[in-house]
Every structure is written in C-alpha cells, then in structure tokens.
Amino acid sequence: MKEFITVCPRNCYSTCTFRVFTEEGRVVRILPFEGNLAVPEGPCIKGLSYLEREYSSERIIYPLRRQPDGSFARIGTDEALAMIARRLTEARKNHGPHSVLFYKGSGCSGLSNEIAGSFWKLFGGATTTYGNLCWPAGLEAVRLTLGEVKHNLPWDLANASMIILWGKNPAETNVQEMIHIDNARQNGAKVVVIDPRRTLTADKADMLIRPRPGTDAALALAMARVIIDRGLTDQEFIRRHVAGFGQFAASLQITPDKAQEITGIPAGTIIDLAVAAAGAGRLTIVAGYGLQRYTNGGQTIRSILSIPVITGMIGKPGCGFNFANLQSYIFDEVKEPLSYYPAPETDKPFRRSISMATFGPDFFALKEPAIEVAWIERGNPVIQLPGSGEVRKALESVPFKVVVEQFMTDTAEMADIILPAKGIFEQADVVGSYWNPYAQYKPQVTDLPGEVLPESAIYWRLAQMIGLPSGGDTGIPAPGDYWTWLMERISHTPGFVREELMQKPVIPDQNEHPAYGNMKFDTPSGRIELWSDRAVKLWGVNPLPTYEPLDESGEEHLPLRLMTPNIASRIHSQFGNLKVIRSVVEEPAWEISLADAGSRGLRSGDSIRVFNSRGEVLGKVSVTRRIRSGSIVFPNGIWLCEGGGVNRLIAPSETDMGHGAAFHNTRVDIEKLVP
C-alpha cells in the first residue's frame, strides 16, 4: 500500500489536505492529514466521496458523440479530436477566432488551468466571459477599502473574544472553520450569527439576528452610528490609519429606529449588538458570500467592514474582517484575475468578452461574428448561470459544442462532443486556497482510466492538429513535458522551498499574520479608505458605504424573496449525483415559513409551483421554523433531473461592483398544486 498527501481542488473555502492510500494503483482509503492546521480533522463528506466519484460506473471515461436521435455513442479519442480541430479551424477561417466561445467555470482549481489560456491565445483569441458567480462584489469592496484581500490565519479565530458570522454558514459550507469557532467559544468568546435563516451554524451560536434579506448594509450602518454617537470608536487608530472617517460619520442617517423599519430587527437589539461589538476587545467579523449576491452587494460589504475599521480591530490577533484570504495565491500575477472584468481595448484583439451574470442577453447582443463553436470546461452553465432559460437557448443556437466533463450534467447533455475530464488523483498540480494560507501540491497518484486525457494533453494534441506552436515555452507542454512545465512554472516564485512543497502544505513566507499587521494598505492614500474615489470612478457608486434598496426588476408585487444557498452535500452542482451523497441527504425541497405556509394552506410534502414573470419550477414544499416570513429557500446547483433549474427564475443582473451575479434579488410567488 502506498500513501500520498494530496489536496481537494474544488471551489470551496477549506481546500482540505488529506492522505490517500492506494493498492495496485487504485485509491482505497482517504484519511485526514493533521499537518494542515486549518483542516486537521480532514475532508467533509464530499471529500470522502472521491472514492465513488473516481470509480463511479456513471463517470465518463471515453469521448462521446451526439447521435441524430439525441443519444450519445462512444467514439475514439483521435476521431473526437480530429472533428473538434476541423470545426475550430473552419470557424476561425470563415468567421474569425471570436466565433469560438471559451467558457471556463471554477469547478477545479490548479496551475494546469493556465494551459487553456495559452491555447486560446495561440489560436488567435476567443469570445470569453468575465465576472464571477461567487464573490467578486465582496472582493472589490475589500480591495477598495483595505487595498488587498486577506485575513488572519483560520486558527486565529480562537483568539477572538467575539465572532460575528454575518451571512456565513460554516457548519455546512466551511465545516473545518467550526473547529476554530468552537475553540474560541471554549476560550470564552461570544458567537453571533446574522442571517435571515436559522442555519446549522446558528444552532451553535449565542445569538441569532435575522434581518430581511438584502438589508444588511442598513443594519451595519446603524451599528456604526451607535458606535460613533456613543464615543466607542478608536480615535487614535482612525487618526493614523483611516481616510474619510469624518465624511463617513456625517453621512450616517440610518438610526437604529430607521434600521428597524428596514431590517425588521428591533432598535434595542441593534444598539446592544453595536455596543457589544465595539467593546469586545477582539472582534472578528466573518462575512459569507451570499449576502453580496444582491444588486447592493459591494456596498453591503463596505458597510459591514466599517465596523472593525472604526473600532480599530484591523491588523491584530483575534481581530479583523474575514471574507477571503488570497495570500496563498503566490503564483498569480494579480490577486483578482483580469478575466473577472471586460476585455480592455488593448486586449480586444485577443478576446471579446461577455458577462457571466448576464450571459444570455449578452450572447444574443453579440455583433458579428456569431458563435459557431462553444468550448465549455470546469463548469455547468445551464444550471449555474442566472437566467438559465436564456443560457440554454443561447447554447442551443451554437452549431457545435464541446464539453469537457466527468458526468452527464445538464450542460454535457447539450454537447455535440463530450471529452472526459481528468479526476483529482490523475494529474499533478499546485493549488492555492481562498481561506487557509497554504500553497499545496497535488500529486498524481493513479493512472488515467479509459481514454481520459488531462486537459493539458487535450490542448497539446489540438495544437498539433491545428498547427499551433506547442511545447513548454509556449505554455502548452507535451504530455511527457508536463512535469517539467509545472516545476518551471513555480520555480521563479519566492517564498517557499520546492522540495518542502512536494512533501506537505506550505505557508509562503509572504503570508502576513496578522493580516495588515504592518499597517500598510495598498490604496491610493496608503490608508484604510472609508471614502473611496475609486468606488465612484470604477463602479459609479457612492464614495462612502451606503445602504441601497434592492433593484426589484419589476417584481416588487411578488411576496417572497428567493435565496439559493450552498449546502453541505454539494459544491454548487457537483457531488449531488453520487450515491453516497444521496444516501444521507433528503430530496431537495422548497423551504418556507410556518406563516407563509399557513396562509396558503400548505403542509410539508405538498407539491407547489414556484413562479415569476421569467418562468416556473415545480417541486415539493418543506414547512420550517428556520425561515422567516417573506422568504423562500431552495439550494443552488440542483440538476434538472432532480427537480432543479431554479436559476430560470433569476433575472440576469450584476452586482453593484465586481461584475458579480445578483442571484438573491429574485422575487417569486407560489401556489399549491392539486393532485
């Protein structure tokens, strides 16, 4: 039996390290790796399910071609790649390289993904997407305020005397963080959860505060006013390190009473929370990603971030604002990839870009050339993009579609050619994390099954067929040179010993703890900026943090606010198809409050129609005390065959900054279906 130390590369906070054991080249066991202090207890149920995911009989391990009747049949790799090369060459010759759409999701991370970009640049360009479905409004808000996006080490939470989990549910979405929260509680810390739902995390908290969805900025700004009015700010910290405090203080028009009207939280509770936060001594606010998936998302994060700023709780142990920690992204030239933003004029010869958040409308608004070929990898846009009905129509209009996938997802079902994607254990790579501080090496521990090729090999073979330059110096290494390419890729980055990285997770020397401890901020003023001229210039928002009512998109009359959170058994649309997951997870259902169920005569298990002007989704209802009146909750990432497709109800719209997707602006109504 052989043992390897590896890492999960999925789009997840934890980026867990774990030990893998193989017998005769097959993975047979997964155990924790205690050397990663962020995740010492090992992976969650999704990580443990890799045994099934890798060896599932439903995994695609041979290329598939769509037949005239819509079914798929196995074809050889050479035939599949030759067909793809021919269609790519014809599209470029007849319509130009922008007639090819290159869509990449975030389903698997690692430096090997850069090879795709090298291929499309050598191809002459492509139509790409910009923006991000996950977190960009919050990233941009933190960057505008603090200059860089980072936070203290995960285990530093144990030093906090008060933790506010604002819109984050780590008990399901970042389970290893609960280890450090529990350690803080054992040290006497108070834990407050602010969330419209009573989550599993809230069950473990000292206090739960449930604002109306989308009103968190009003709550935060009212708290800031209480802190300022009562003289609870850190004046010396503000004098030395904060720009725009005077303007910010003068702008605060939302009193606790006004915030009560907006949020539904009693004014007295707001005052008590503000006083407790200011007097905590060591306050850490941990903000989730869901609360910035609104049209006011960036300003909401700026508003919440103002609390640790004006109380001087930045740059100290046990203190800070934890949204994302990009300090392990040491191999990136920029911490927020340029692909998040529209193609600049200087880049447009290479790429024409459309927004992920408004993919459908943007696609149909494209001028010549039209899209002739679509290449989709690491993503499931038919389920995950807002306005998924328009997304499906857009992709249906493309004459030839290639999807690189492991399973027959809703997007894969639309393909003309499906190329099998590599598994986690089948190619070496280097992976960073947006929560823990480690850079991690992911070794190859098993051979590739069937006719699976790593994406790097797919691109190299296509380059050979099309006549593009290839080889390590072009960024498209030959399969036999991949290891050399990877080692060369990381060899020029300082801050770690390569041999050590090959053995275990490493914290780069550049990691700053506590974050911002040197009190240097990469902003135009060199200080923390409550007033941001860049916020106006880049995004057209107020230079100060503000509460902006949501853009209701003409659906104000509908009674229920839709939220589509992540859940413990999935990472968006991944893992839910596995038998081991289905054996421990109930069928997805639409959660509503007792009050909303009572007024409609609904009971758990009833069939309902959820609808708005964009369409409808049918499903079962679950009546619960965990949801406040006026809200309805359904997990994101549920496949159509499971009763999903909720994103067809969500209007394609962007957040106020960062080109994120405003998923949670959506309003709907429901009605009971009579058997």
pLDDT, one tens digit per residue, over 106-136 is 989 999 999 999 999 999 999 999 999 999 9
pLDDT digits (tens, 9 = 90+) for 182-235: 999 999 999 999 999 999 999 999 999 999 999 999 999 999 999 999 999 999
Question: 88, 103, 192: which is closest to 404 by C-alpha?
Answer: 103
- The pTM is what? 0.95
Looking up tokens 């993904």 gives 113
Q: Which residues pair with 322 in a beta bridge?
A: 286
Share of the chain above pLDDT 90, in %: 90
Q: Which residues pair with 138 in a beta bridge?
A: none
Question: 659, 94, 142: which is closest to 353 by C-alpha?
Answer: 659
Q: Is the pLDDT reported for residue 449 higher than 90?
A: yes
pLDDT digits (tens, 9 = 90+) for 24-38: 999 999 999 999 999
E-strand stretches of 54-121: 64-66, 72-74, 100-104
3-state secondary structure of 296: coil
Question: 423, 620, 445: which is closest to 9 by C-alpha?
Answer: 423
Reported confidence tier of residue 166, pLDDT bands at 50, 70, 90 = very high
Arithmetic mean of pLDDT over the chain: 94
Mean pLDDT for the stretch of residues 4-21: 95
Q: Is the pLDDT reported for residue 82 higher than 90?
A: yes
Burial of 205 (0-12, 13-18, 19+ CB in 10 A): buried
Q: What's the CA angle centered on 92, arms 81 and 353, to 5 degrees?
A: 100
Reported confidence tier of residue 346, pLDDT bands at 50, 70, 90 = low
Q: What is the pLDDT of residue 377?
A: 97
Residue 440 — φ and ψ, nearest 5°?
A: -135, 145
**Bond into 399 cis (ω within 30):** no
Cα 65 to Cα 370: distance, rounded to the nearest angstrom: 23
| Buried b / exposed e along 50-70 (16+ C-beta atoms within 10 A) | bbbbbebeebbebbbbbeeee
**71: how many CB neighbours lie within 10 A of its CB?**
9
Mean pLDDT for the stretch of residues 31-52: 93
- Pairing type for strands 17-23 and 607-612 reads unpaired
Reported confidence tier of residue 584, pLDDT bands at 50, 70, 90 = confident
pLDDT digits (tens, 9 = 90+) for 248-289: 999 999 999 999 999 999 999 999 999 999 999 999 999 999
Cα 108 to Cα 8: distance, rounded to the nearest angstrom: 9
Residues in contact with 184: Cβ distance below 8 Å, sequence separation at least 6, in sequence order: 157, 158, 159, 160, 163, 191
| Buried b / exposed e along 433-449 (16+ C-beta atoms within 10 A) | bbbbbbbbbbebbbebb
Contact 321, 136 (CB under 8 A): no
Q: Is the pLDDT reported for residue 513 higher than 50?
A: yes
Q: What is the pLDDT of residue 339?
A: 47
H helices present in 264-387, as ranges: 267-278, 297-310, 359-364, 381-384
pLDDT digits (tens, 9 = 90+) for 525-545: 999 999 999 999 999 999 999
Q: Is the pLDDT reported for residue 345 higher than 60?
A: no
Contact 622, 590 (CB under 8 A): yes
Helix axes 455-466, 114-123, angle to 10 degrees: 10
Residue 137 — φ and ψ, nearest 5°?
A: -65, -40
Q: Is the pLDDT reported for residue 446 higher than 80?
A: yes
Reported confidence tier of residue 349, pLDDT bands at 50, 70, 90 = low
| Domains of the chain from N-terminus onward | 2-55 (2.20.25), 64-130+339-427+443-496 (3.40.50.740), 136-325+514-539 (3.40.228.10), 560-672 (2.40.40.20)
Residues in contact with 93: Cβ distance below 8 Å, sequence separation at least 6, in sequence order: none
Q: Is the pLDDT reported for residue 338 higher than 50?
A: no
Cα 268 to Cα 264: distance, rounded to the nearest angstrom: 12
Cα 60 to Cα 404: distance, rounded to the nearest angstrom: 10
Q: Is the pLDDT reported for residue 594 higher than 70?
A: yes
Lowest-pLDDT choice from 38-52, 78-92, 221-235: 38-52
Reported confidence tier of residue 556, pLDDT bands at 50, 70, 90 = confident
Cα 435 to Cα 12: distance, rounded to the nearest angstrom: 9
pLDDT digits (tens, 9 = 90+) for 392-445: 999 999 999 999 999 999 999 999 999 999 999 999 999 999 999 999 999 999
Give me the half-sphere count of Cα atoms (radius 13 Å) on the Cβ side of residue 106.
21
Cα 378 to Cα 356: distance, rounded to the nearest angstrom: 14
**235: how many CB neighbours lie within 10 A of its CB?**
12
